[in-house]
Each structure stands twice: as C-alpha cells, then as structure tokens.
Amino acid sequence: MTARETHERSHEIPPKASIKLGPTLDEEVFGEAFNGQVVGRFMKYIAAYKVLLWVAITAVIVFTISSIAIPLIVKNVYDDALKEGATDKSKLTTMVIIFLVAVGFNFVANYFQELIVGRVAERILIDMRRAMYEHIQRISLSFMDKTEIGKLMSRLQGDVAALQEFLQTAVFAVGDFVLLIGIIGAMLWLDWRLGLMTLAVLPVLFIIQIIWLPYARQSFLRARVTSSIVSGALAENINGIRAVQGLSREYVNYDLFDIRATDNLKAANNASKFGVMMLPIVDTLTGAAMAIVVIMGGFFVLGGTVEVGVMVAFVLFVQRFFDPIRALTMHYNVLQRAMASGERIFEVIDVPVDIKDKPNAIHPKEIDGSISFENVTFGYVENQPILKDINFEVKPGETVALVGPTGSGKTSTTALVHRFYDVWEGTVKVGGYDVRDLTNDSLGEHVSMVLQEPFLFSGTILENIIYAKEGATREDVVAAAQAVGAHEFIMKLPDGYETELEQRGGNLSLGQRQLLSFARAIVADSKILVLDEATASIDSYTEMLIQQALERLMEGRTGMVIAHRLATIRGADRIIVLQDGGIVEQGNHDELMANSGLYSRLYSMNYASFDDIPDELIAQATNAAQGRAT
Amino acid sequence: MLTSCGFIHGGIVTATSQVTPAGKAAGTSSRPVVGASSAGVFMRITRMALQYRWRLFFGLITIFLASGFQLAIPILIGSSVDAALGLENGDLRIANSAVVASIASVTDIVGEGSNPAKTALIIIAVLLFIASVGRGLSAMFQNYMGESIGQGIGYELRMLYYEKLQRLSFSYHAGVHTGDLITRGIVDVEGVRMFVQTALLRSVFLVVLIGTGMYLMLSEDLVLGLISLSFVPFIAWQSTAAQLKLRSNWYALQERLSALTKVMDENLGGIRVVRSFASQDHEMKKFDVASNETLALANVQVGIRASNISVMGLAFMLSMAGVLWVGGLKVIDNEISAGELTQFLAFMSILLQPIRQIGMTINGFARGSATGGRLFQVLDISPDIQDKPDAKDLEITNGTLEFHNVSFGYEEDIILNGVSFKVEPGHTVGIVGPPGSGKSTIAHLVPRFYDPKEGYITIDGQDLRDVTLDSLRKAVGVVEQDTFLFTASIEHNVAYGDPWAPDDRIETASQHAQLGDYIDRLPGGYNTLVGERGVSLSGGQRQRLSIARSIMLKPQLIIFDDSTAAIDAATEQRIRAALTELTKDRATIIISHRLSSLMHADEILFIEEGKIVERGSHEQLLTQGGHYNDLYELQIRPNEQSGNNMDEGSAS
C-alpha cells in the first residue's frame, strides 16, 4: 500500500490555497568566502584558547608529517631491507620499528587533534552564544520590538553552529593543506620526473571541482530549502489540525503537501546526482595517475634509474592525494556560510546598548513611591512623537488609571516609568530620582510591572511566583497566592505549588495565569506597580477574582494602571485621559463625568473598553468635547 | 535541514558528515522507543524498497561490479611491482597466476621484438585504469540507487504520515504532544530514509566486498592474510560500539539542547517580564546551567569520536606493520615476491574504508529499527472516528439539530451527562455555564470531533455516525475559541474552507465579521501575509477572521464556541446584526461567558457539571431566579453601579 494508492491526487489545485511559505533561496546568502572583519573579530573569541589551539595545530602538523612518512618508510623497506638478494633480517626489523614509531606519533597526534579541536570548537560555540545572549539582555526594547524571536533564535543556534563548523574546518583545512604540500614535496623528492608526470592530473581535478562546485552547491541548497519547507508544512498542519479537520481541508492540503514533498524529492535526487557524480571522476583520475606510475615508474625501474620502493610509495601516495584537494574545495562552502553567519551574529552584538547605567548611578534602598513626568516628549520613530510634553504627578500610594483610545500613548507612558526607553525631552522621576540616575537593578526592585499578557516560564508554579526574587520563601509565595485568590486553584492542581507548568502555562486558563502574575508582583513587593490590564474577556467568576486581586495588589503601593475595565477605571483615585500623546483631562470618575469632556462622552458610548471604540466615534466625541471647550 | 546535511556530505566526505549538534537543535528531543520488533520493522521497510524493483536490481548488480573492480586493483598493483622487478631479472614471477596467464598470452600476441616486461606494464596500466573507471562508475550507480530508493521511501512515508495525521481524531491529537508528532514526521522519516540509503544496500556491498577480499587474501597466503586481516574484527567492533554510544549520547544531548532552546525562547518571548523584574542575572544563570549541561555532553561526544578515529587508525597501521615485518621476512626468504607483499598492503588500504563503514551500517540498522518502529506505530493507528463502510452523504431537508440524551466522558471523568435539546432552523440556542462544565464539548460533538459515549445526535433525523464526515463537516460550521492562522495571505486564510470561493464572497464574509475595514487599511489588503512569518493580528482580530472563515462557507448549522471572548460587545453586536440574513433560516448555537452575547437566544441552556440545570428564554430564566439570574446580577450589575465595586461579594 503506497501513499499514492490510498489517496490519489485527483483534485485540481484551488486558486486560493497555499501551504506553508518557507524560506526562499534568496534568504540563503551566497556570500564571500573571506571577510577580514568577521575573521578578525572571531579571532578575539579564539584568543582565549590560543595555547590550546597551538597545541592542536602542532598535533595536526605532526599527524600530517607522520602520515606522509609512513609510505616513505615502506619505500625504504622495499629498497633497503628487501633488495634483491638481501639476507640481513635485522635491517627489516629496524625499519619496522621505525614504522611503529611513526605509527605511534600518528596515533597520539590524531587523538589530540580531534579532541582539542572538537572541544575548543564546542567551547567557542558556547562563548559566542553567551555573548550574543547576554547582549540581547541589555539592548533596548525598541530593537526587540521590531525583531522576530524566531530570527534571533536562528542566530543563537544556526549561525553559531555555522561558526563552530568553520573553526573545526579551518584547523583541519590547515592539515589538508600541509598534507597536500607534503605529498607533492615527497613525490618530487622521491623522483621528480615521475612526480611531475603523476601530479599532472591534479590540476585536472582542481578545474573539474571548480566547475562542479557552484552547480552542486545550488543543488544541495535547493534540497535543504525544500526539505525545510516540507518540515514546516507538516508542523503547521499538526498545529492547525482543528482548523484543518473542522473546515474539511484534508484533501486540498494533501495535494498541496504532495507538491511540496515532490519538489523536495526531485531536489534531493538532483543533489544526489551531483554528489555521486564526483565518484567516477575522482576514480578515473586516480586510475590515470596509477597507470602513469605503473608505466613510467615500471619503465624507470626496468631501466634501473628508479628503485621499486619508489614505485610502491607512489602508488600509496596516489591513493591519498585527491582527498585534501576535495576537502579543501568543500571547505569553501563552509567558509561562505560561516562568513554570512558571522556577519549576522556581529550584527546583533553590535546593536548599541543605548540604555545603560550611568557610571555613578545610584541604588537607593528605599524610595517613596512617587512618579512624576516633567515635560516629557517621547516617540519610537524620529519626528513622530507619541507623547508630547506630558506633565503629571502620582503621589505615593495613589492609584492612577490611564485611559484613552488606542495609540494615545498609554503603553509608552508606563514603559518610561521603568526606563524601557529614554525620553527625548523632559524627565521621568521615580521616588524623586531621575530614572536615568538610578541603576537598572534598582528600578527592577522598586517598580513591578504586570503585563497584559501574563507570561509564565516553564518550571513549577512556585518557581514562577518567586521568579527572580532572591530570598523569597515558600511562605511568601503561599501568602501572595492567598492574597490574590490563587491559592485555591493551585491546591486543586495535582502537585499543588510543585505542579510543572506546560509551555507558556498552557495547562492554566488565562484568568489563572493572570492571578499568578499578580502573585509574582506581590512577592516582588515593589513600591510602585505598573499594570496593563488584560482586554480579553474571561468568565465572570475569574473576572470577579481578578478585580479583588487587583485591589489587594494595589494595597500600600503606588499604582499606575492602563485600565480597560470600567470597574477598574471607576475604582481609581484619579483618571488620566490621554489622547494623541497629550493629557486631555484628569480627575476621578465623578469629576470627569461632571466635566462632560471626552471621558464622559466615551463612557456614555457603553463600550466595554475605550480601546474598542471605532475611530469615527472617537473623532465625533473629540469634536464634541472640543466644541464644548471653546 | 536534517535531510540535507545527510546527503550533502553523503557520498562525498564521510569524515565530515557529523552534523554539528547545535545545527540539529530546534527543540527536537526523541528517545529511542521500543516499538514493534526490529525484524518486523525491517521487513516492512524492505517490502517498501521492493517496489523499486529495477533500481534495487541495478543497485545489486553494481554492488558485484564495484566489488570486482575494487578487488582487481590490489592484484594489478602487485603484478605491476613484479612486472617491473621480475622481468628485469628475466624471471616472470608476477603475483597472481590468473593475471600472469592473461598477461603472458597478450604478450605473446603482441609478439617478439617488443620488450615483454614493458608490454606487461602497459597492459597492467591499462587494466588498472579500466578497473578504476569501472569502480568509480559502479560506485556512482550503486550510491545513486541507494539514495534514490531512500528518497522515494522517505517521500512515501511522509505522505502516508501526513495523511494519517489528518485523519486521526481530536481525541488522539489532544493526547499527544504536537512537538512529538512533528519530530516523528521529520526525524523519524529521516531515520528510515538514512537506513534505506546507507544500511540496506550497503550492508550487501560490505558483505560481498569484505568477504571476497578476505577470501582472496587468505587463499593467497594464510599467515600473511591473517595478519593483514587482524585489524578487521577490532575496527568493526570498535566503530560499532562508538557509533552506538554516539547515538545514545546524541539523544541525551538533544534533550539538553531542547531544554536550552526553551530557556532562550522563553527569555526572548518574555523579555518584558525579564526587563521589568530586572532579572537579567537570574536569566543568565538559567542560561549558563542549561548551556553547560549541553557542553558536558558535547564534550563526551567529541571524546568518543576522537578516541574512535585514532584507535581505528592505530589498529590498521599495527596490522600493516605486522604485514611488513612477516611479509618482509618471507620476501627475504624468497617465499613470496615483493609484488605479493605490495598486493597485501594494497588490499589492506582498499578494505580500510569499507570496514570503517561497518559501524555506520550497524548504527543505521539500530536507528532504522527505532525510528521505523515509532513511525509505524502512528501509521498503524486506526482513527476512532471515520466513515462507516456504508456511510451516506448528509441530506439536509431543513437543518434541525437534535441531541438525544447525549453523554460523553473519559472513563470516570464524565463531561456531559444526558444532554437533550433541539435547535430548529432560524432558531438560536445559547449555552452558558462555569468553566469546565462541558460547553465546548457540545460544540465538538456536532462535527464529530468526538463521538458521544451514550445517546446520539441527529441532523434532520440522520444519526451523525451514519453520514460521511466530509458532508457533515461541510454542513456544520464551528467557530473555535482559539484561531489558528496559517502562514498565508489573509485571503487564503479566510478562504481556508473553500479555496475556490470568489473574491466577493471572501470580502462579504470579512465585512460581516467586521474585519473588512481593517483589511482594507493594510498596505497589502487581502494579500497581506499573516501567521508565523507575517503580520500579527490581535486576539480580537483573529477571532473575527475565524468568524469570517466559517460564515464564508454558509454552513447549514453555525456554532460559536466562545468565539467572541476577545471582541468587544459593540463589535459583537454589529457582527450579529450583519449575520441576521445568514442565520434567519439556519440553526445557531452560541456558547459564551458573556451573557450579552446570548441574551437574545430563543432558548438558553445553563450547564453545570455536564448537565442542563436550567433552560428557557432570558426572561424566563431571570424570573426563575436561579444560577442564570445570579450570573446576570454578577455581570451586569457592576456596569450599572456607580462608585467602587471592588469589595463586591465572593466569586465562588
């Protein structure tokens, strides 16, 4: 039973269906094989292992020399010990002992070259990845905002691996090169005439290899790309299986997948052809070289100008001297990949860290919990400010709700409190200190943020609530969970606080994840809490729990909340209404309602959240509010 | 990526074909699973390979040719040495009598006048050249046949696997980790392919070549033959042990690598959490721990490889030293010629590579058995929901859905318990209840994502289990709570259920789902790429897309499974208004947490612990003053109240 029999492709391909668009060929860079800058910077990472690498290179050279010596010793066995009419067996024994010594060197050098090069390469891989990862931890969020996680991950994995491969290759390439030179030298030294004649086939291989390589590489690349497309298409279908079955897309998808899989099959077979094509070429050239050795070498031996051992040594060398040439041209590919990967890695490492601690930044033990924005102007794109000359103050212990339509600058305001970004103009103060004068760590300690989408790490619930708080105990965690009303559901889980969370907390509901992120903020116990309320509606039971938890969370803290729920907004001490990067009005709910400004107009539209109000209605409300004001 | 690395290096540089472990990282961890018996697995794979009759046949022929040419080379080399030496002394003592005979006869034909030694050398050289070309060509065909059969089987398995996954029911998919299924489809298919490509044909080749080589050497000179072959068992054993060790260590390494991937992925995904807790140090510690664990295993890997390669080299050269010494003594004692000695040395170097491959081949068998076993495990599952043999297409007369005393659950866990209700065309049934009460299960039973354990469900009197799945699912549209976006244009995503739909139907559906304006504002409009590699949509936008996807199909029955949770109430109102035309002669079920979504329904079912505890219209339920009324109080009152409501009553 074959796939084709069970499910013949009989349908025509529909016009509006596609399947998993994978990377294209253009995304795989065919770059230069040597980039001085990349190599130069790469050397810095290698520098730490300089001594080891010298040992490795020595081992490579010893290995190569002993490899060349072995056929030469065999030659001497023939020409000295086994000379026609020789009877002295001690000569043979001496030769065999010399042979054994060479073998010993060869063995030890071989072991160490493999071991050291391999281990250093692994080590450098880790170092580079760590350097990049550590840098990513520090670069500004504006870079992270516009960079896909998948892309960064592929740099942290694929590109680093390509550089590792490069290092291994580079060391062995040295070996191959030495071996090639050594073999050529030995052959010429043994008999230059025979040597030159035999070596005549080398350029032929070299030329064929140069012609073959670009086509072969193209075919290998096609095979790789089509294969990753097939894998991606499979993965997508598995992840979206509910939609696939629910919408009866099985037949169409099967046909589309068949197209991809067939592409891959063809590309793979094509790549195989290019791969195996070199086998007869190399064997033909080897055969030619051996024929030359047999005829010319044989004639020389017959003529008495060359001893038979030379001929034997030549035959042994001929078997080997194509390897380094082929390896060297194959390395070219690795070099190209490594240069492109190196560029991508250093691109990340070179992203400037624009938000870093001042040399004399301070870390106060206690702060008073006030926040103030003084003439703050800020944006992400030059000349397009999101916040325009904002001024407001939050007193210690006060809860302020930020409201306003999408794009009014609420999220930016909260991000500035934690100094995720630096302001263009003006000052943001926390506890009376300019945030730029505080250390990043002290902001982390005094300002907690609860994000709209609760993010949980894999690990246990306990670990997630403690997160990075040093010295937090289990009691603290339980107390925090009780305070936010998460204790009950945690205890109902199979392992209680020790329950392992699935990826992103997949085994919990959205509401439960939110409660855990609240508990995490309580354990962190900061003076200031910045919270972005979730917009998605959850079932009303959990909703209620969350409202109560919010209340608990705010107790004794300064709160700045991007509020979406009317209940939260009304519960705030003060409401700041933002629009187009400016503050339009502020006050508590009753004051603002009495004011009959934008807030009251938006409120009376009965939307669940201000974010959802269509633009045209906001424009109406704004006009009305302004009309009233003037 | 996995596929390619294998054959890029495949026939070319075997020594460098060890893919760097990190290159394979991508979160694939798979342990060898003891599945079906190895013999059974090999039989099945071999049966698949037998379909490629001609390629297999041709592959086998080239195996014998390649072995023949390969083994002729050492004999010719030996003869050439004797020709150069022996004829010099006027004494024809060329190694190997067959070659002697043939060369002698040819020399006779060439006739006197020419130097017989030179003629012999020329003939040997020509034969050497022919043998080399023959070896190269037959090796080429042999490798290509192996690879193309492997690719063909890989393709077939991939298609079978894909097809099977599409047919396996929800209960299967719910119980399996998606990552695991993906790994099987990628890594295990690759494993079987590599088995076919590197182990199946090659094992025959190795047996033929090494067997014949050993026979030739031993029959030539028993003692010298034994010494030259003394490295064979050692290297065969050593490389096999190393390959198996490398493989089990590789699995461990993969597991550590996927743990590291998880750490990095979560860090990047949760970068705002990391930043807001200023927990960079904490995160670096996590990274270092995971990273060092991979390093330790990677170093083990390097160590095994280094000792394996060097020890194999040592064993070979020690045998060579033995041959040189014993053979040399024999040459001195005139027992054998120098050419014969050379012939042994040449045999050894010809056999070295194939003997090293024994380990790889045995590893190929081990891997093929493990991966094939895992793959066949999935392929052999019979989907628990499939068309009956005599299933007919669903015939819609008016589109009435009815649940008859339906129960559902797993073992002791009862999810639905005796649920009966009826939805007539043009009517709407609302379903509400606490989380986990079984609401979504009702939605999943209608398109037969699951089958009821007891009771039955009918549409226009036809039991769902008696009709074809395809006709049923075309008639039933379920708008799911979680929307999966495919990496494709918005147009293709909306048209997912009917990729032949004309533009205007796609646009109308998008407009009804209140997504049209948003799409029009996108620079690429309907051609904008969404999903993994495209524009990301908000939760509400995704749900609206999902609604558009379903209503575009104009299904006879529509079920909204909490599919407006992320959409605000006002937009939801507008969607509902836009759908009145569509739903006026269709049965509709709305499942929601939000009462405003279903207050207007003709009948509302309140479900608790799998049972319908209250039913009736909104007004009826309010006057009953039960659970529904409580919920109404809870949801609607806060909005009508002014002032602080945070200390409102308990939620439980």
CB contact under 8 A, B291 and A89: no
**pLDDT at position A342, please?**
85
CB contact under 8 A, B1 and A231: yes
For the ranges A59-73, A143-157, B467-481, which has the lowest average pLDDT?
A143-157
CB contact under 8 A, A308 and B170: no
Does the pLDDT at position A449 exceed 60? yes
Residue B88 binned pLDDT confidence (cut-offs 50, 70, 90):
very low
Angstroms from B549 CA to nearest CA on chain A: 9
Answer yes or no: same fold for B2-379 and B401-478+544-637: no
User: Which comes out higher in pLDDT, residue A86 or A234?
Assistant: A234
Does the pLDDT at position B93 exceed 50? no
CB contact under 8 A, B23 and A103: no
What are the tens digits of pLDDT across the range A352-382?
888 888 889 889 988 888 999 999 999 887 8
**Tokens coding B72:** 């002729």
Residues in A touching B569 (Cβ below 8 Å): 606-608
Nearest to A248 among B341, B470, B529 (CB): B470
Does the pLDDT at position A139 exceed 50? yes
CB contact under 8 A, A291 and B121: no
User: Which comes out higher in pLDDT, residue B13 or A174?
Assistant: A174
Which residues, at least 6 apart from A321, have a Cβ–Cβ distance to it below 8 Å? Answer: A180, A183, A184, A202
CB contact under 8 A, B3 and A224: yes
Angstroms from A388 CA to nearest CA on chain B: 24
DSSP secondary structure letter of residue B537: P
> What residue in B sits closest to A564 (Cα-Cα)?
B568
User: Which comes out higher in pLDDT, residue A609 or B21?
Assistant: A609
Residue A574 binned pLDDT confidence (cut-offs 50, 70, 90):
very high
User: CB pairs below 8 Å between A and B: how many?
Assistant: 543
* Cα–Cα distance measured from residue B347 to residue A622, given in angstroms and rounded to the nearest whole number: 93
Listed ranges A37-46, A468-477, B204-213, B428-437; the one with the highest mean pLDDT: B204-213
**pLDDT at position B572, please?**
82
**pLDDT at position B12, please?**
29
Residue B395 binned pLDDT confidence (cut-offs 50, 70, 90):
very high
Residues in A touching B539 (Cβ below 8 Å): 535-536
Residues in B touching A14 (Cβ below 8 Å): 499-500
Does the pLDDT at position A432 exceed 80? yes
Angstroms from B432 CA to nearest CA on chain A: 10
**Tokens coding A480:** 């925090």
Q: Decide: A257 and A233 in contact? Cβ < 8 Å.
A: yes
- Torsion from C-alpha of B103, B106, B108, B112, nearest 10 degrees: -100
Residues B496-521, mean pLDDT to the nearest whole number: 91
Residue A467 φ/ψ region, left for φ over 0, alpha for ψ in the -120 to 50 degree band, beta for the rest = left
CB contact under 8 A, A283 and B133: yes
CB contact under 8 A, B264 and A606: no
Q: Is the dihedral of CA A549, A552, A557, A563 positive or negative?
A: positive
Q: Which position has the token pair 């209605």?
A: A617
| Alpha-carbon separation of residue B60 from B65, B214, B239 (angstroms) | 9, 20, 25
Which residues, at least 6 apart from B256, have a Cβ–Cβ distance to it below 8 Å? Answer: B290, B293, B294, B297
Reported residue count of chain B is 652
Residue B209 binned pLDDT confidence (cut-offs 50, 70, 90):
very high
Interface test with A, best of B324, B530, B535, B630 (most A CBs within 10 A): B324
**pLDDT at position A613, please?**
65
* Cα–Cα distance measured from residue B557 to residue B219, given in angstroms and rounded to the nearest whole number: 83
Residues B380-386, mean pLDDT to the nearest whole number: 88
Residue B52 binned pLDDT confidence (cut-offs 50, 70, 90):
very high
For the ranges A83-92, A474-483, B325-334, which has the lowest average pLDDT?
A83-92
Looking at CATH, the fold of the domain delimited by A26-191+331-354 is given as ABC transporter transmembrane region fold (1.20.1560)
Q: Would you state the CATH architecture of domain A371-629?
A: 3-Layer(aba) Sandwich (3.40)
One DSSP character per residue, B403-461 reads EEEEEEEETTEEEEEEEEEEE-TT-EEEEE-STTSSHHHHHHHTTTSS--SEEEEEETT
Beta A447-450 vs A528-532: how paired, if at all?
A: parallel
> Measured in whole angstroms, how far is the alpha carbon of residue B473 from the centre of its chain?
28
| Distance separating the N- and C-terminal Cα atoms of chain A | 81
Domain boundaries, chain B: 2-379, 401-478+544-637
Beta B462-463 vs A574-579: how paired, if at all?
A: unpaired
Residues in A touching B572 (Cβ below 8 Å): none
β-bridge partners, A402: A562, A576
> What residue in A sits closest to B78 (Cα-Cα)?
A312
CB contact under 8 A, A134 and B284: yes
Residues A46-63, mean pLDDT to the nearest whole number: 89
For the ranges A436-450, A525-539, B143-157, which has the lowest average pLDDT?
A525-539
* Cα–Cα distance measured from residue B173 to residue B449, given in angstroms and rounded to the nearest whole number: 11
Residues in B touching A122 (Cβ below 8 Å): 295, 298-299, 302
CB contact under 8 A, B635 and A540: yes
**pLDDT at position B22, please?**
33
Does the pLDDT at position B235 exceed 90? no
CB contact under 8 A, A275 and B7: yes
Nearest to A236 among B341, B486, B571 (CB): B486
Say yes or no: B20 contacts chain A, CB-CB below 8 A: yes
**Tokens coding B158:** 């991939």
Does the pLDDT at position A419 exceed 70? yes
What are the tens digits of pLDDT across the range B431-443?
998 777 888 889 9
Nearest to B84 among A95, A134, A311 (CB): A311
| Alpha-carbon separation of residue A19 from A331, B170, B519, B531 (angstroms) | 35, 22, 21, 12
Residues in B touching A266 (Cβ below 8 Å): none
Residues in B touching A467 (Cβ below 8 Å): 273, 277, 279, 282
CB contact under 8 A, A87 and B332: yes
- Torsion from C-alpha of A145, A148, A150, A156, nearest 10 degrees: -60
Domain boundaries, chain A: 26-191+331-354, 192-305, 371-629
Does the pLDDT at position B6 exceed 90? no
Nearest to A539 among B13, B435, B499 (CB): B435
Angstroms from A418 CA to nearest CA on chain B: 7
DSSP secondary structure letter of residue B465: G
| Alpha-carbon separation of residue A193 from A78, A341, B612 (angstroms) | 20, 46, 100
Residue B92 binned pLDDT confidence (cut-offs 50, 70, 90):
very low
One DSSP character per residue, B233-256 reads HHHHHHHHHHHHHHHHHHHHHHHH
Residue A4 binned pLDDT confidence (cut-offs 50, 70, 90):
very low
Q: At B561, which helix (H) or strand (E)?
A: strand B557-561
Say yes or no: B317 contacts chain A, CB-CB below 8 A: yes
Residues A122-140, mean pLDDT to the nearest whole number: 89
Among residues of chain B, what percentage have pLDDT more than 70? 86
Residues A526-539, mean pLDDT to the nearest whole number: 76
Does the pLDDT at position B587 exceed 80? yes
Does the pLDDT at position B1 exceed 70? no
Q: Would you state the CATH architecture of domain B401-478+544-637?
A: 3-Layer(aba) Sandwich (3.40)
Nearest to B329 among A17, A92, A458 (CB): A92
Interface test with A, best of B478, B646, B648, B650 (most A CBs within 10 A): B646
Angstroms from B97 CA to nearest CA on chain A: 19
pLDDT mean across residues, chain B: 82
CB contact under 8 A, B638 and A567: yes
User: Which comes out higher in pLDDT, residue A30 or B237?
Assistant: B237
Taking every pair of Cα atoms in chain A, the longest distance, rounded to a whole number of angstroms, is 124
Does the pLDDT at position A608 exceed 60? no
Residues in A touching B136 (Cβ below 8 Å): 279-284, 287
CB contact under 8 A, B186 and A291: no
Residues in A touching B324 (Cβ below 8 Å): 74, 77, 92, 95-96, 99
Q: Which amino acid does the sequence have at B638?
A: P
What are the tens digits of pLDDT across the range B511-528?
999 999 889 988 889 998
Residue B108 binned pLDDT confidence (cut-offs 50, 70, 90):
low
Residues in A touching B137 (Cβ below 8 Å): 280, 283
User: Which comes out higher in pLDDT, residue A258 or B33?
Assistant: A258
Residue A445 binned pLDDT confidence (cut-offs 50, 70, 90):
confident
Q: Would you state the CATH architecture of domain B2-379?
A: Up-down Bundle (1.20)
**pLDDT at position B447, please?**
92
Residue B95 binned pLDDT confidence (cut-offs 50, 70, 90):
very low
Among residues of chain A, what percentage have pLDDT more than 70? 91
**Tokens coding A242:** 């509910």
* Cα–Cα distance measured from residue B652 to residue B649, given in angstroms and rounded to the nearest whole number: 9
Residue A459 φ/ψ region, left for φ over 0, alpha for ψ in the -120 to 50 degree band, beta for the rest = left
